[in-house]
Structure 1
Amino acid sequence: MLYNKMVQSIIDINEDEDRILNIVKAQFGFKNKSQAVAMIVKIYADSFMESELRPEYIGKLKRLEKEGNFIKFNSIEELRKSIENA
């Protein structure tokens, strides 16, 4: 069983940020703000963290390499010419 150690954090946020946190909490039916913060952090990690570090991204790339037909370009100029002539 995978167990994630829980930590407690005291954070300072302004009223607007607190209002947004309450909106997220209400929209998703969370019982507390900690759940809302956890969801926001997960969305951030999935969207903005370096993709090459995530194993699921590497697996997705390998699958695309097997399935896809790719054209290799040696420069941006080659790519640009290919797009313009398409």
Structure 2
Amino acid sequence: MSDAVDRAAIETEAWLAECIYRQRKPVEIPDEDEGGRYCLSCGITIDPRRVEKAPEAVRCVSCESIREEKNHGRRG
């Protein structure tokens, strides 16, 4: 029984740590004008379909993928 409780406590702590991390990371403001939204990393126009599906997107798919790979390596 205590093993299940210990695992639940560890999972809860990890979840809370992730929530705190997400709240503390700085909000990135999209770079956009009447021509569209531009990637904060490379400057190209982000596909409008991406912006429609992910309104918080501030990077193109390629740059966001690279960023996620780098960040995943740091935390894991």
TM-score over 0.5 for the alignment? Answer: no
TM-score by length of 2: 0.31
Which structure has more RCO (C-alpha within 8 Å, separation ≥ 6)? Answer: 2
Higher helix residue share: 1
Q: Tell me which protein shows more strand as a share of its residues.
A: 2
Q: Which has the larger radius of gyration?
A: 1
TM-score, normalised with respect to structure 1: 0.29
